[in-house]
Chains A and B, each alone.
Chain A
């Protein structure tokens, strides 16, 4: 009854959400095994073997898996899954890409994006962009599941000593080719894992004005987010988008500036611990989820905010 989790990494670094998924896996069964498929990815398997909740690491080191093409990865996961009743991955663009292929290969119905585990076959998942929570029970013998990483705490990284086992690669179909990946470079923390997020909306009125957001973000060591409206208006690139069609974030502090609070945006941030809204429209729906609302023109409020932050002796990092 052990659980198989497919690790997300880039061959040199483990992606942090894998640790959140490990916590979720351990709530299904304590026998958590992690599959690392990649190229020259020994460092990843070592890192995972140190995670106390992990009992076994399976490594498949082959050029076939360098870029996690789903056409190549899914047959491997399908084969390895023979010995497991639960097959898990993070519900991000990594897990969403290959897991349904595994489910189809196994002829099982996937349970996507779970936020809570009630029992090994019963889970809670958001539907309608998080406007409703469904409790679902899977009747399939094998269960393919994707985990919403932000709903589970990351597992401890050190103190474990899991065994490491090699797994043979399987034939690949040679139907797809990786060309390139353009990762957005930023000095700031990653949006998905930042402790503080400062987001701008259409109220910013231009891309240049996002400097006001960036200045606050730098001061607070925060990631910069945006509403879909700001992205669609071309003020900022898409990878900053928070919401149903962007990223789901759960920071300690979320500051929404010039964001009205459309349903689609709220779906991406309303689980944040503390929410601040700065908007000149006192009726804006964002105020209904904000712990602290400031009804003000952002173009005067943001410079003042920065000035007040500068007065503080210490700021948490």
Chain B
């Protein structure tokens, strides 16, 4: 079996982002960048399935500027076999990203595509589901447990009400939640070895895919700030304020 795992380079989750004064977006220059957190879970699960002997090959793909190759190298350092970098110069909406991924799937013919459930920059939560629809494949989103069988995969999903178990036929798209596993750190020798692993480089412009964005970003602004509250000196004062001032209890 073969897994294609998609990884995205995003602003590190620990960075407090700053909105640009002209409202055109957020500052991403000279800011720490990392792999989108649930994409790390997707890579980890793919590698675990390979280590368990259930999967033969794991291909890591990233779509983005040249620096997206760093994100692919990180996936290679924790156990992916091969990388594919599809170069795009500008922001591409999930619809366009799904179209690029579809082209790659048609060429590489994986049995499963693993992705993070959502990217922490645009917070869209769309790419995996769109790809599944375009391929006419089944999907499992918000995955917190994977049980791979011969012709299907049984998935436990995290839903608002609790947990749901579904079984989807292969090939399938799986989007991963943060509690699926504990992503490993790459060891220094493996980071060195990853530099020698193959990395295919493609240009989205030459793939015959319509990447026109359909959504215009008119402005980006800071959310309204909460005004600072007060500190109370005792539990009794707190209860009195909640009862008599805020009138919420």
Contact = CB atoms under 8 A, between A and B. Distances in A.
Interface of B, helix, strand, loop or mixed by DSSP: mixed
A175 B134 contact: no
B167 A296 contact: no
Contacts of B179: 231-232, 238
Interface in B190-209: none
B159 interface: yes
Contact of A295 (B216, B229, B231): B231
Interface stretch (A49-57, A127-135, A162-170): A127-135
Contacts of A138: 214-216
A305 B239 contact: yes
A70 interface: yes
Contacts of A14: none
B246 A103 contact: no
Give the interface residue-count category, chain A: 35 or more
B104 interface: no
- For the residues of A in contact with B, the DSSP-based class is mixed
Given A112-B123, A276-B238, A309-B249, A97 B129 contact: yes
Interface in A88-114: 92-94, 96-105, 107-113
Interface in A131-152: 131-140
A126 B248 contact: no
A176 B95 contact: no
B130 to A, nearest CB: 4
B161 A183 contact: yes
A294 B238 contact: yes
Interface string A45-63: 0000000000000000000
B125 A100 contact: yes
B67 interface: no
Given A103-B95, A291-B246, A128 B229 contact: no
B214 A139 contact: yes
A177 B155 CA distance: 10
B73 to A, nearest CB: 25
A135 B235 contact: no
A181 B164 contact: yes
Given A70-B129, A100-B130, A126 B123 contact: yes
B90 interface: no
Nearest to A175: B138
Given A101-B133, A107-B95, A264-B13, A183 B123 contact: no
A247 interface: yes
Nearest to B129: A100
B22 interface: no
Given A71-B138, A132-B17, A179 B154 contact: yes
B249 A316 contact: yes
Given A93-B158, A184-B162, A288 B239 contact: no
Contacts of A135: 217-221
A132 B98 contact: no
Contacts of B130: 100-101, 103-104, 110
B226 interface: yes
B126 A137 contact: no
B151 to A, nearest CB: 11
Contacts of A173: 136, 138
B94 A100 contact: yes
Interface of A: 69-71, 74, 92-94, 96-105, 107-113, 122, 125-140, 173, 175-184, 192, 196, 220, 231-232, 238-239, 244-245, 247, 252-253, 263-264, 270, 273-276, 282, 287-296, 301, 304-305, 308-309, 312, 315-316
Given A96-B125, A100-B129, A176-B169, 14 more contacts: A71-B138, A97-B129, A100-B94, A100-B127, A126-B123, A137-B215, A175-B138, A181-B161, A232-B179, A274-B246, A276-B242, A292-B229, A294-B231, A296-B235
Interface of B: 11, 13-14, 16-17, 19, 26, 93-95, 98, 120-134, 136-139, 141-142, 144, 154, 157-169, 172, 177-179, 213-223, 226, 228-232, 234-236, 238-239, 241-243, 246, 248-249
